[in-house]
Amino acid sequence: ATAAGAIAALLRAHRLPMLHSPFACSLAAARSLGAHLPPRAPAAAAPLSSRLSLARLRSGASRGAPGSAVSSSAAEHEEPRKSELIFLGTGTSEGVPRVSCLTDPSKTCPVCIKAVEPGNRNRRRNTSILLRHVTPSRTSNILIDAGKFFYHSALEWFPAFGLREIDAVIITHSHADAIGGLDCLRDWTNNVQPSIPIYVAPRDYEVMKMTHHYLVDTSTVIPGAAVSTLQFNIMEEEPFTVQDLEVIPLPVWHGQGYRSLGFRFGDICYISDVSDIPDETYKLLEDCQLLILDALRPDRSSSTHFGLPRALEEVRKIKPKRTLFTGMMHLMDHEKVNDDLARLMETEGLDVQLSYDGLSIPVRL
């Protein structure tokens, strides 16, 4: 009862919604407190990070998130906000946990069972990142992909990180786990901002004409209907600029004959859906400092995604300073796999780990 009262008090102080079950309430509190964990902290450090986050909330210095009350004198002494990369999702199209595993009477899937625990890092929604690009003149929020679970990711992480506007969306490919949430952007264009620019390759734009025809051709929309107001910008496989940030497309194969795009932002290279990397793309990956790379499963690759063994081969070839894997299915246990990967630092000097939903990393763009 004491713990439940403390959680409820915290939710009220941080203006988080009270949910309808003790489990959901605990989950919201745990995730709120765990949103700013250090990027390389082991799971055992979570309680300390939670206490530090709680202290920041009580002192009113929670990064400008809703409910914070930073005095003008304290705000004047705050360090300038830095650019950051936020993982909104790190899972497959079906997500983790799988419903089929949770309803299996044999209950033999340890990762999915763990994934329903409050704050567990095996909980994964559709792969997506958000770049908070900070310049002296403004801050821009650049979203990479808006998949089927985008609403749920935004519901959790936008309030936690003090995010509101979406200044641009860049699409990697036209599968449902990358574009299935475009309809959810109506909340932004109806209530936050007039429109959102979408950057998409020609082949994927043709797909959107079928899957999201009412967003592409708004003349078919019934007057007064509340749909997303999107500005489609066709991008080729050439560098382009979004919100004063240079973006370099990284063409890759996502299954035989199917082209997907990764993207390079400064020294950050992001490749979320890949089964093979063309020779010409390796040149674009030179001197990469942070590589974010597809790694579906622990044992082998599939026809459309790198598995962990192939992903590690690519890391050895590309030689980034640091690598975070994404797009993991339910066979990838966060703690177990990261423990195994940590040994590669000792044996090969490879700095490789799994990412997780809600991970935030300061970056230089």
In this predicted model, what pLDDT tens digit does every residue of 166-213 receive, in sequence order? 999 999 999 999 999 999 999 999 999 999 999 999 999 999 999 999
Tell me which of 15-24, 234-243, 295-304 is least confident.
Answer: 15-24
Q: How confident is the model at residue 29 (pLDDT cuts 50, 70, 90)?
A: very low
Whether the CB-CB separation of 88 and 157 falls below 8 Å is answered with yes
Integer Cα distance of 125 and 164 in angstroms: 20
Could you tell me the residue ranges of all domains in the chain?
Answer: 84-362
Q: What is the percent of the chain with per-residue pLDDT over 90, rounded to a whole number?
A: 76
pLDDT at 107: 85
d(CA 244, CA 324): 25
Average pLDDT of the residues of the chain: 84
Write phi, then psi, for 72 (nearest 5 degrees).
-60, -35
Q: Residue 119: what pLDDT? A: 94
Determine the Cα–Cα distance for residues 272 and 319; give it in Å rounded to an integer: 18
How far apart are the C-alpha atoms of 103 and 101, rounded to whole Å? 5
Quick check: 240 pLDDT over 70? yes
Question: Tens of pLDDT along 112-150?
Answer: 999 999 999 999 999 999 999 999 999 999 999 999 999
CA–CA separation, 139 and 308 (whole Å): 35
Residue 283: what pLDDT? Answer: 97
Assigned architecture for domain 84-362: 4-Layer Sandwich (3.60)
Among the ranges given (63-72, 178-187, 188-197, 227-236), the one the predictor scored with the smallest mean pLDDT: 63-72
Do residues 265 and 297 touch, judged by C-beta distance below 8 A?
no
Q: What is the pLDDT of residue 220?
A: 87
Beta bridge partners of 132: 84, 141
CA torsion angle for 7, 11, 14, 19 (degrees, to 10)?
Answer: 150
| Residue the block writes with tokens 């250090």 | 38
**What is the spatial distance between Cα 90 and Cα 122, in angstroms, rounded to a whole number?**
9
d(CA 232, CA 154): 21
pLDDT band with cut points at 50, 70 and 90 for residue 299: very high
Predicted pLDDT at 327 = 98
Question: How far apart are alpha carbons 229 and 190 in whole angstroms?
Answer: 8
pLDDT at 313 over 60: yes
ω into 97 cis (within 30 of 0): yes
The reported pLDDT for the residue numbered 81 is 77
- Considering only CA atoms, give the Rg of the chain: 20
User: What's the pLDDT tens digit per position in 80-118?
Assistant: 679 999 999 999 999 999 999 999 999 899 999 999 999
Mean local confidence (pLDDT), 303-312: 98
Is the pLDDT confidence value at 250 over 70? yes
SS3 44: helix
Sheet holding 240-242, edge to edge: 240-242, 245-253, 259-265, 268-271, 290-294, 322-326, 352-354
